[in-house]
Structure 1
Amino acid sequence: MQQIPMTVRGAELLRKELEQLKNVRRPEIIKAIAEAREHGDLKENAEYHAAREQQGFCEGRIQEIEGKLGAAQIIDVTAMPNNGKIIFGATVELVNVETDEEVSYRIVGDDEADIKQGLISVNSPIARGLIGKELDDSVTIKTPGGTVEFDIVGVEYI
């Protein structure tokens, strides 16, 4: 089984979602199915079929999360000495050489990625271009909008 890199925060968010699905959502769906059964004929019972469909989605997501957590390689960058090298989990401050615009990204697992929050997937072109680089390096990254040159002005393990 291939291990999936994940930050401590990402694993915690998945555990919380799993607990919510198992302890809140699953019992709600079971109750909805029981109530829908009481309405009689199941062939033409829309509430029953909708609840069964929700149950399928819920159980599928539970299995998916359990699989991801089982394959997770949880990486805690806060426990590592910061040598200025960009690694999985690092938060990177970049300056666009052309526009002087400053951006900050944290390199995370696929499930945690959210560009609006500055969380980029380790498999994204930007992250792949940054991994292994160091503080004060310049890096040229091919993005969907073209090639962009960045100066690395900060590397934090937070």
Structure 2
Amino acid sequence: MQRYPMTPEGKSALEKELQHLKTSERPRIIQAIAEAREHGDLKENAEYHAAREQQGFCEGRIQDIEAKLGASQVIDVNDLEKNGRVVFGVTVTIENLDTEEQKTYKIVGDDEADFKINKISVNSPIARGLLSKSEGEDTRITTPQGEVEYEIVSVQYL
């Protein structure tokens, strides 16, 4: 069985989304289907077909979340040994050795990743290139722009 690594915050966010889908979206969609049925002929009823499509997406997402939560492996960085190594859940600051530009990323699970807020997936090329490296160590990472050399400036267990 495939395990889905996630932070406690990521698990909480999925549980909240699941709760919202089950308690708000599902009843709203069922009501929309019932109202559309009252309009008569279902073959040419666009509202009915749209509601049924929404229902399919909603039920699919519910199943997806339930499967991920069931196979989740929650990793709390606070429970890990703080030895300066890059592991799942840490916040790492790296410096591009060519441009001297620094970036800070938090390494999270696939569902939590959001590059806009500097959360990168543990399966991303950058995270894979950083995992198990130590603070102060240099590493070469293959990115879409080519191979880039980075120095790990700091590792924070937040």
Find the aligned partners of 1:29 and 1:2 in 2 and give their Cα distance: 32
Deviations 1:97-140 (A, max 9, x none): 11111100111111111111111111111111100000111111
Find the aligned partners of 2:62 and 2:143 in 1 and give their Cα distance: 34
Tell me what 2:65 maps to: 65
Shift, 1:43, TM fit: 1.3
Shift, 1:80, TM fit: 2.1
Tell me what 2:32 maps to: 32
> How many correspondences in the alignment?
158
Shift, 1:156, TM fit: 0.8
Deviations 1:51-99 (A, max 9, x none): 1111011000000000000000000002223110100111100111111
Alignment root-mean-square deviation, CA: 0.9
**Does residue 102 in structure 1 map to residue 102 in structure 2?**
yes
Amino acid at match of 1:9: E
Find the aligned partners of 2:47 and 2:155 in 1 and give their Cα distance: 53
Find the aligned partners of 2:146 and 2:42 in 1 and give their Cα distance: 56
User: Any gaps of 5 or more consecutive residues in structure 2?
Assistant: none
TM-score scaled by structure 1? 0.97
The 4+ residue runs of structure 1 with deviation greater than 2 A are none
Tell me what 1:51 maps to: 51
Of 61-70 and 44-53, the range deviating more from structure 2: 44-53
Shift, 1:41, TM fit: 1.3
TM-score scaled by structure 2? 0.97
Amino acid at match of 2:38: E
